[in-house]
């Protein structure tokens, strides 16, 4: 298997050269399943296991390999396995907020990385009851905040009464990103989508369950690789037909990462991540009278003036304010958590000092 066909380049090569250990070779993670993963290297596909040293050194789960990562491995060909020793620095990664804990303020925030080293984030929406500009804005914020170029794919054009209107609405929301309408079932627009997935480039498909990602992937692969599920008539929700993250090679050489549908799109990052996904609103805000304008009732607010004049959609404004408030709240909560963690660490340190002194006196 040629590494270049998996996206290997000189940037990654320089990092693995720094390790300077005999027997170590580069491999790319193509299937992720918790702490075990399948990797592809020049020796073929192997089951990768984390070394004990790697496992101990990882500070949190964001430091564990995910699909798209490049890792340094020692192959054990007789067992069709490999030991993973190191994670090569990521060019980028797309992730969402994951939390642990019970109460709102005691929850510990972590980033759940879902894919790494991407050239494109393909955001798939269904042109049925799933269609939501507000959800699109959340996905765009994840992509732009991760430094990844998004591509918006509107699937199920065959059942949409006014596809052109939906495309226009999406283009207004997805400033700086292309919007492509397709019908995976009928084949409409698929050539345009293929043209945006060139050989050697890595794209991750993200979207809610039921938007037709598996059907899209089957159409791109030209085979029935993915199982597909029907949409529940009662609420329009889809089944999670994709249960694991994996990298697929399309017939012409493009690399595609499939992800299970996301029930929630928990944002990870700060309010600055909104600047790219809401570039039009950010530009308007530069014209506000006050630099600390809250864009609500302040005099001279250029954003509110644009809403009143009809040049800025009120729904888009409300979506922007909602995400601003959510990210600001998460920042405040993370600060509280950091202070609580620091307090716990100091108390533990003081306890160790007291115990040490008691032992000395004894």
Tell me, what's the pLDDT at 267? Answer: 65
- pLDDT band of residue 142 (cuts 50, 70, 90) is confident
User: How does strand 44-50 pair with strand 36-41?
Assistant: antiparallel
Q: Are residues 122 and 69 in the same domain?
A: no
Residue 104 located in a structural domain = no
Tell me, what's the pLDDT at 344? Answer: 62
Beta strands in 127-271 (DSSP E): 150-155, 178-181, 202-206, 245-249, 255-258
Q: Are residues 291 and 352 in the same domain?
A: yes
Q: Render pLDDT for 276-295 as a digit per residue (tens, 0 to 9).
A: 889 899 999 999 999 889 89
> CATH code at 153?
3.40.50.300
| DSSP state for residue 60 in the 8-state scheme | S
Tell me, what's the pLDDT at 330? Answer: 75
> 């307090």: which residue's tokens?
343
Considering only CA atoms, which of 146, 195, 155, 154 is closest in space to residue 174? Answer: 154
Tell me, what's the pLDDT at 308? Answer: 95
pTM (2 d.p.): 0.77
- pLDDT band of residue 145 (cuts 50, 70, 90) is confident
Q: Rounded mean pLDDT of the chain?
A: 82
Tell me, what's the pLDDT at 333? Answer: 64
Using a pLDDT cut of 70, give the percent of the chain over it.
Answer: 77
Q: How many separate domains does the chain show?
A: 3
At 9, list the tokens.
């380049």
Considering only CA atoms, which of 71, 67, 58 is closest in space to residue 12? Answer: 71
> CATH code at 284?
1.10.40.50
Residue 99 located in a structural domain = no
Tell me, what's the pLDDT at 288? Answer: 94
The percent of the chain in helix, strand and coil, each rounded to the nearest 5, is 40, 25, 40
Which structural domain, as residue segments, surrounds residue 349?
A: 278-362
Tell me, what's the pLDDT at 269? Answer: 59
At 272, list the tokens.
């600055």
- pLDDT band of residue 232 (cuts 50, 70, 90) is very low
Q: Is 243 helix (H, G, I), strand (E, B) or coil?
A: coil
Please report, for residues 87, 200, 345, the alpha-carbon distance to residue 84 in angstroms, rounded to integers and kept in the order given: 8, 24, 32
- pLDDT band of residue 151 (cuts 50, 70, 90) is very high
Q: Are residues 237 and 142 in the same domain?
A: yes
Considering only CA atoms, which of 45, 44, 39, 121 is closest in space to residue 88? Answer: 39
More confident residue, 144 or 355: 144
Q: Render pLDDT for 84-141 as a digit per residue (tens, 0 to 9).
A: 999 999 999 988 766 555 444 445 556 678 899 999 999 999 998 778 998 999 899 8
Is residue 93 within 8 A of residue 67, CB to CB? The reply is: no
User: How does strand 202-206 pair with strand 120-126?
Assistant: parallel
Least confident of 157-171, 207-221, 249-263: 249-263
Q: Are residues 287 and 211 in the same domain?
A: no
- Among 229, 258, 287, give the residue marking a domain's end: 258
């Amino acid at each position: 298997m040629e590494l270049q066909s998996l996206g290997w380049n000189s940037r990654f090569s320089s990092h693995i050269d720094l390790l300077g250990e005999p027997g170590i070779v580069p491999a790319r993670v193509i299937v992720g399943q918790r702490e075990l993963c399948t990797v592809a290297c020049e020796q073929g596909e192997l089951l990768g296991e984390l070394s004990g040293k790697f496992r101990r050194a990882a500070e949190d789960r964001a430091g564990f390999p995910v699909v798209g990562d490049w890792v340094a491995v020692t192959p054990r060909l007789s067992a069709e396995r490999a030991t993973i020793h190191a994670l090569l620095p990521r060019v980028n990664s797309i992730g969402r907020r994951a939390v642990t804990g019970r109460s709102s303020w005691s929850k510990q925030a972590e980033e759940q990385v879902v894919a790494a080293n991407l050239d494109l984030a393909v955001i798939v929406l269904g042109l049925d009851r799933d269609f939501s500009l507000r959800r699109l804005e959340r996905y765009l914020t994840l992509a732009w905040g991760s430094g990844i170029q998004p591509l918006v794919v509107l699937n199920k054009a065959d059942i949409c009464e006014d596809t052109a209107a939906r495309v226009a609405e999406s283009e207004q929301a997805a400033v700086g990103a292309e919007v492509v309408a397709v019908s995976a079932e009928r084949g409409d627009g698929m050539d345009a989508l293929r043209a945006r997935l060139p050989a050697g480039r890595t794209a991750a498909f993200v979207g809610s369950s039921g938007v037709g990602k598996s059907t899209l992937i089957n159409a791109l692969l030209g085979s029935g690789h993915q199982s597909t599920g029907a949409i529940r008539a009662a609420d329009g929700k889809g089944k999670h037909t994709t249960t694991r993250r994996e990298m697929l090679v399309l017939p012409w050489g493009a690399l595609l990462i499939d992800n299970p549908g996301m029930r929630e799109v928990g944002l990870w990052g700060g309010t600055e991540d909104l600047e790219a996904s809401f570039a039009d609103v950010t530009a308007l805000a530069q014209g506000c009278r006050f630099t600390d304008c809250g864009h609500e009732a302040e005099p001279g607010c250029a954003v509110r003036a644009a809403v009143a004049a009809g040049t800025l959609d009120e729904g888009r404004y409300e979506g922007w304010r909602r995400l601003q408030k959510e990210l600001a709240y998460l920042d405040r909560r993370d600060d509280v958590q950091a202070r609580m963690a620091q307090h716990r660490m100091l108390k533990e340190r003081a306890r160790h000092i007291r115990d040490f002194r008691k032992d000395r006196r004894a």
